Structure 1
């Protein structure tokens, strides 16, 4: 553990999920790849669409409606609708196709289990203080084995702007009803998690599981209170 700034006694913790508790990017890549194959098999009229076509639909959707940056689920439904519609599907068949494809992707995107060591840590922490998950993603926490550890799971959406916006931090603080500086937010992103948490009055711990933790290689707006190289180091705050 590297301590950059002192913290008060920690009374609660909030956790980012993707790339903090598990390496998310390979999971998304595989689910995206699988979705293209699924669409080609189940909806052959759209089989000509390549990855680049779907990326173009995504870029256009975000240009048309920037709020979609905060809502991964809504964004994917809009992308699927656009591609399938332009491939000739319409009416009830289009509606059904979008739902089937979305459900397939969402299951595969969450088709893994968080590691035993991470779950054991969360179990120990949850016995001593309340834990809340705050994520910009939309992973199914029940499917990946995390539901039992968090009193709330806050996911970014149109109504909950993504971190570093203060909305989800504020919601967590209102639920916890403790001094904000006594809440330690743990996350991998030095802008969305660390800067966002500090701006909301939280203490912050930087931990990334998907890359070497070299702070000089990161886009830093503000230093975290602590840098955690092993999640077990969080037990020091009990």
Structure 2
């Protein structure tokens, strides 16, 4: 059960917690393929084919385990490999990634996310802790967060306890004084539990819980979290 009296800060996941990520990535990949059509049609064909696109990404993941925490680098190197396979100019990898990244920052918040962030930020310091490559400032949410930690910049990804502990340190509190909120059972909930935090599982789609360890609470949206914490607009 959640002990609200101990909470001095909140860390939040981003993708699939504040916005759905699948439509964002689908649109960004379409925009990337359209850009490549004119610049490198061979690579564009690879990215338009889901199995070929997945195979290129997997080849990068397997050959560059050092990039496992950095989704931007994996994406950039996937573009570079597709260009190489198509015998096209690999120097296009950087501008192509820039095209993808701009579109990746165009997110559509869940309806509850904006009002809930405003309410949460009025009562607690908020820290974004994400394995993804979204930038809270570029997506228009920077005003709500005291700090933002990404696996790409930090060098370690959830569920590694170090990134959770860094989130606590960023606002000067102990891990036991932090509530972590996220949608992923393993990366968010189990990772934060292992790091010594209280956790809330954001279960928007009625998934079943599959682990022995339990979150301190489960909510279906972020306004339900605000209500659980006793916050009022």
Question: Structure 2-normalised TM-score?
Answer: 0.88
For 1:72, the equivalent position in structure 2 comes to 71
| Deviation (angstroms), 1:8 | 4.3
Secondary structure, counterpart of 1:157 in structure 2: helix
> For 1:195-232, what per-residue CA distance to the aligned partner results, in whole angstroms no more than 9, with x for missing partners?
000111110001034xx223xx3442521001112312
Kindly indicate whether the alpha-carbon contact (under 8 Å) linking 1:68 and 1:158 is maintained by their aligned counterparts in 2.
no
- Between Structure 1 and Structure 2, how many residues are aligned? 227
Kindly indicate whether the alpha-carbon contact (under 8 Å) linking 2:20 and 2:109 is maintained by their aligned counterparts in 1.
no
For 1:132, the equivalent position in structure 2 comes to 127
Which has the larger displacement, 177-186 or 74-83?
177-186
Q: Which runs of 5+ in 1 are unaligned?
A: none
Say if 2:206 is the partner of 1:213: yes
For 2:180, the equivalent position in structure 1 comes to 185
| Deviation (angstroms), 1:143 | 2.9
CA RMSD of aligned residues (A): 2.1
Question: Which of residues 203, 221, 225 is equivalent to 1:234?
Answer: 225
| Higher relative contact order structure (alpha carbons within 8 Å, sequence separation ≥ 6) | 1
Give the 5 Å matches for 1:23-172.
23-49=20-46, 50-90=49-89, 94-95=90-91, 97-115=92-110, 117-157=112-152, 159-172=154-167
Question: Structure 1-normalised TM-score?
Answer: 0.86
Q: Which runs of 5+ in 2 are unaligned?
A: none
| Deviation (angstroms), 1:158 | 7.1
Secondary structure, counterpart of 1:105 in structure 2: helix
> For 1:131-165, what per-residue CA distance to the aligned partner results, in whole angstroms no more than 9, with x for missing partners?
00001101132232211101111111274221111
